[in-house]
Amino acid sequence: MQRIAQAPNSFIATLWVDALKAEGIAASVQRQYLSSAAGELPPDQCLPEVWIEHDHHAPHAEQVLHHLQHMPQQRWLCACGELVEGGFQQCWNCSAQMPT
């Protein structure tokens, strides 16, 4: 198990994991649940993390995520009004597919 990325929210974390799985990389979302004093910790302590099952997949996984995060044309306005950024082809607000 190896942490590969920290996602800004759980929707994005799930999309990243799905993208990794599509590439044959076993991945999962891990969230750091803090039992106490959560309010006193920096917010990034509570963000969801993307972990891969096998460490040797790390270079490929990083490549997949880099690709997802750097696709300038992948910025589109969904019918629900949500601006979807970050290379996702599905709206994280209403789950609609990117129009083609």
Residues that bind Zn ion (CB under 5 A): 78, 80, 82, 91, 93-94, 96
The three-state secondary structure class of 41 is coil
Shorter beta-carbon distance to Zn ion: residue 2 or 89: 89
Least distance between Zn ion and beta carbon 45 (Å): 29
Shorter beta-carbon distance to Zn ion: residue 50 or 78: 78
Least distance between Zn ion and beta carbon 92 (Å): 8
Distance, CA of 46 to CA of 66 (rounded, Å): 22
Distance, CA of 59 to CA of 52 (rounded, Å): 11
